[in-house]
Amino acid sequence: MTTHGPESPSDWLLRLAPCSARTWDAAARRAFAGEASLETAHTLYRFKEAGFVSRLKKPARSFDAPKAMRGLRLLGFLVDEGGFWSLSTRWSEGAHAVLWRPPAEDAPASFTITSPSASFAAEEPIAEPKRDRPSGVQPRAPRRPPTLRMLEAPSMTRIHAASG
């Protein structure tokens, strides 16, 4: 498809979505497992398992979850690389977050693109043991500070061996 002049990010995404959105969503589910937060100049967004949870519009002091935003999924980050748009699950300062609403019976798929982002933080979920894990695959240990333990006092039991 040829366009005259620069193509907007939302036009680009809508053009590619029919063949790519499900793949983008699958990659995002792996990349954004656990909880994540994204901050722009005016809003702080929270996600869980790549799904929108809530937002805080600055200078408000409480989070809300507008009905219009429920069901949105974080797909990744959009960056203009010299006139070419790039969508990736890797965050970089100034990247625009891409939020996707999957198609429903009564509505087509849609995208929301945030303003440039200032920060992104993700926390991986604590791995739970699985019995059906393939051989050799081990869960990642949770990141916790080391535990300090006091050593026990030396034993006061003495054994004397008599020769004889």
Residue 14 lies in a domain: no
Write out pLDDT tens, residues 89-140: 999 999 999 998 888 888 887 888 999 999 999 987 666 555 555 555 555 5
Residue 110 lies in a domain: yes
Distances (CA, A) of 114 to 41, 76, 98: 10, 11, 7
| Domain extent at residue 37 | 27-122
Phi and psi, residue 136, nearest 5°: 90, -10
Nearest CA among 15, 10, 54, 50 for reference residue 33: 50
Residue 155 lies in a domain: no
Residue 75 lies in a domain: yes
Write out pLDDT tens, residues 14-39: 777 777 877 888 888 889 999 999 99
Write out pLDDT tens, residues 44-80: 999 999 999 999 999 988 999 999 899 999 999 998 8
Residue 148 lies in a domain: no
Residue 133 lies in a domain: no
pLDDT for res 146: 55
Contact 72, 100 (CB under 8 A): yes
- Between strands 73-81 and 96-101, the pairing is antiparallel
Residue 84 lies in a domain: yes
Residue 112 lies in a domain: yes
What total of structural domains would you count in the chain?
1
